């Protein structure tokens, strides 16, 4: 099982599609288009930020906990399904979800009680997975690391209104804060082998040479982990030549 990681607009879904086609495996995408809570969450963030500016120090986003439990529930279901096959791909890590919940709690969008309940639920869910009692999960996490400028460019390009800083200026602070949390997440992550891809340097969507380089990096790690034979790697690489 391969997991993609990265901030909003980093290209996780695009690389998930590219990699699943390359390996002939099944992609599992983050529930965004069919997520009724996500637009409410962004609106709630905007409202909570305005209330805090007006002096309401305890103003929270009423949709923060709901959104994260929605993602947690869907992610857990997808992990169980992805584990039924070889080299299936998830376009976000369940451990990233926990980071989002931590950040929203630190920002005041969620309460400490909500965070505690979320953490207990996450712990109970992870304990039900087959690899729960192993020292390391038996998969690879690919982290697409991008700058603020690249993230904003891609967010603007895909055009979801509720993600735009031009529509909601409070997102500027939110996105910068999220980048800092991702930096800390990268440094402390120890759940699986972590492969970091420079998303500013490699345009794996538009540039075929960059795409091949990124696929080579990922498949080399898969060979090292024993999840892909050297012979199969050579075949995949030759097919792209």
Specify the number of domains making up the chain. Answer: 1
Confirm or deny that 12 is annotated as ligand binding: yes
Annotated active-site residue 91? The verdict is: yes
State the pLDDT at residue 131: 58
Q: Does 163 appear as a known binding residue? A: yes
The verdict on whether residue 199 carries a ligand-binding annotation is no
34, 58, 91, 106: which is the annotated catalytic residue? 91
Q: pLDDT per position in the chain (241 positions), as tens?
A: 899 999 998 999 999 999 999 999 999 988 777 788 888 988 888 888 888 888 887 889 999 999 999 999 988 999 889 888 888 999 988 889 899 999 999 988 899 999 999 999 999 998 887 654 444 455 899 999 999 999 999 999 888 888 899 988 888 998 999 999 999 999 999 888 999 999 999 999 999 999 999 999 999 999 999 889 999 999 999 998 8
3-state SS string over 15-49? HHHHHHHHHCCCEECCCCCCCCCHHHHHHHHHHHH
Residue range(s) defining the domain that contains residue 166: 2-240
The DSSP code sequence of the chain is -EEEE-STTSSHHHHHHHHHHHHT--EE--S-TT-SSHHHHHHHHHHHHHHHHTT-TT---TTHHHHHHHHHHHHHHHHHHHTTSSS-EESS-HHHHHHHHHHHHHHTSS-HHHHHHHHHHHHHHHTTSTTTTSSS-SSEEEEEE--HHHHHHHHHHHT-GGG-TTT-THHHHHHHHHHHHHHHHHHH--SSEEEEEETTT--TTT-HHHHHHHHHHHHHHHHHTTSS-HHHHHHHHHHH-
pTM assigned to the model: 0.87
Q: 92 among the known binding-site residues?
A: yes
Residue 42 annotated as binding? yes
The CATH number of whichever domain residue 95 belongs to comes to 3.40.50.300
> Would you state the pLDDT for residue 138?
53
What does the pLDDT read at residue 160?
84
Q: Is 136 marked as a binding-site residue?
A: no
């Amino acid at each position: 099982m391969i997991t993609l990681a990265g901030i909003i607009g980093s290209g996780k879904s695009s690389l998930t599609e590219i990699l699943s086609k390359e390996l002939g495996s099944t992609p599992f995408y983050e529930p965004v288009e069919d997520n009724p809570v996500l637009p409410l969450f962004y609106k709630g963030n905007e409202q909570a930020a305005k209330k805090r500016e007006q002096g309401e120090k305890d103003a929270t986003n009423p949709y923060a906990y709901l959104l994260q439990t929605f993602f947690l529930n869907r992610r857990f279901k997808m992990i169980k399904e992805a584990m039924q096959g070889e080299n299936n791909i998830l376009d976000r890590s369940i451990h990233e979800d926990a980071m989002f919940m931590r950040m929203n709690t630190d920002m005041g969008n969620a309460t400490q009680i909500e965070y505690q309940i979320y953490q207990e639920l996450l712990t109970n869910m992870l304990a039900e997975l087959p690899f729960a009692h192993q020292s390391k999960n038996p998969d690879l996490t690919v982290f697409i690391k991008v700058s603020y400028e690249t993230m904003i460019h891609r967010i603007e390009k895909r055009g979801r209104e509720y993600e735009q800083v031009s529509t909601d200026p409070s997102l500027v602070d939110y996105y910068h804060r999220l980048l800092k949390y991702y930096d800390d997440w990268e440094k402390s992550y120890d759940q699986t082998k972590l492969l970091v891809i420079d998303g500013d340097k490699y345009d794996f969507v538009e540039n075929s040479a960059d795409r091949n380089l990124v696929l080579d990096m990922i498949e080399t790690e898969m060979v090292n982990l024993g999840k892909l034979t050297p012979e199969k790697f050579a075949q995949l690489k030759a097919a792209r030549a």
